Structure 1
Amino acid sequence: MKESIKMLTILFLIISFISCVTEAEKKSTQKREYAPVDKKIFDEIKAMDKEFFDAYNNCDLEKQALIYSDNIEFFHDKGGLMTSKKEIIEGTKRNICGKVTRELVDGSLEVYPINNYGAVQIGFHKFHNNQEPNAKSIPSKFITMWHNENGDWKMAKVISLH
């Protein structure tokens, strides 16, 4: 009888533990609703994203160069790392201008302040091939580190994932 009670107690504890772990896993995998930590910075970065990609979509290379930091690091999952602003702009002129447009996926933008530096922007965007208007564009993730240089936002690091 004592052995049965001991086994039932152990079984009860194991089931309770598994139940708690399962509940914790459910909570950790549920999608959280995003709310900006700092609405002002969120709005500023969203505006900078729009300003940069309006220039990108309209081939305003001078505007893009002004927004890129002089110390830009551009990480592309397929193309690798580029650290020359001049080469990034030349590559955009050669491969993007008039050929590709970018669209931010509505509701995907998240911005988090980085103390004494600026902010990190995370979101999804689509690139449309203007030569093939019926081609399907699949959303891809991007991460941008924005450096606030005396009130002037600069793209310092870009991570583009496809």
Structure 2
Amino acid sequence: MKHFFLLLIISSVAGYSQNSDKQFDKDELIRQDSLFWVAFNRCDVDEMMTFFTDDMEFYHDNGGFTKGLRKFEEETRAGMCKDPANWSLRRVEIKESTEIYEINQYGAIISGEHLFYINETDKDEYLDGYGKYQNIWKYDDGEWKMSRILSYDHKAPPEKYKAE
């Protein structure tokens, strides 16, 4: 029994030191996050899906809960990206609201606020909504991927953004 506990302690310390040797690369995380939103704004579903873990979970205050990459992709293709030539959504980050927090031995959380603009055939783009988000990014095998997405507090955009 003593040997079991000693082995457990040694393996825990070894595992911790291996993970703590990884440098948290905030700039690379920001770059990956930006690339995701470029794909989102183009409604490039194939590219968007490369930014998620297979076991991803999406929590949306209006749309509900979606579990798994395959289901999320189906819902994205049937919903938001059903006809991007005639209707599309453009997301704009409110940069001063963005915060990043490291999760030791896992990844990071990116949270903040964003605005949504609608593009429709024969109409000028218009500001349609505001929301908050918290995305949990997992760092695994040298890659950043989103594993949990929380999108909430959707409402009309605050007055201060309507004039922009």
Q: Work out whether the TM-score is over 0.5.
A: yes
Question: What is the match of residue 78 of structure 1?
Answer: 62
Choose the corresponding residue for 1:122, options 108, 111, 136.
111
| Larger mean Cα displacement after TM superposition, 132-141 or 41-50 | 132-141
One-letter amino acid of the counterpart of residue 45, structure 1: L
Greater Rg over alpha carbons, structure: 1
Measured in 2, the distance between the counterparts of 1:71 and 1:85 equals 6
Matches within 5 A, 1:1-162: 41-97=25-81, 98=84, 99-131=88-120, 133=124, 135-161=126-152, 162=154
**In proportion to residue count, which structure has more helix?**
1
SS of 2:29's partner is: helix
Alpha-carbon deviations, 1:65-124, whole Å to 9, x = none?
A: 111110101000111110121222222223223211111112221100000000011111
- Identity, in percent, stands at 31
Paired AA for residue 61 in structure 1: V
Q: Identify unmatched segments of 5+ residues in structure 2.
A: 1-22, 155-164
Structure having the higher strand fraction is 2
Query: Distance in 2 between the 1:137 and 1:42 partners?
Result: 31
Runs of 4+ with deviation above 6 angstroms: none
Contact 1:72–1:83 at 8 Å: present in 2 too?
yes
2: CA distance, partners of 1:143 / 1:125? 11
Contact 1:128 1:137 in 2 (8 A): yes
| Cα 1:134–1:61 shift into 2, 3 Å | closer
User: Are 1:117 and 1:148, in contact at CA under 8 Å, matched by a contact in 2?
Assistant: yes
TM, length-normalised to structure 1: 0.69
**Structure 2 counterpart of 1:5:** none
Aligned to 1:18: none
Structure 2 partner of 1:29: none
CA-based RMSD of the aligned residues comes to 1.9
Q: Distance in 2 between matches of 1:42 and 1:56?
A: 21
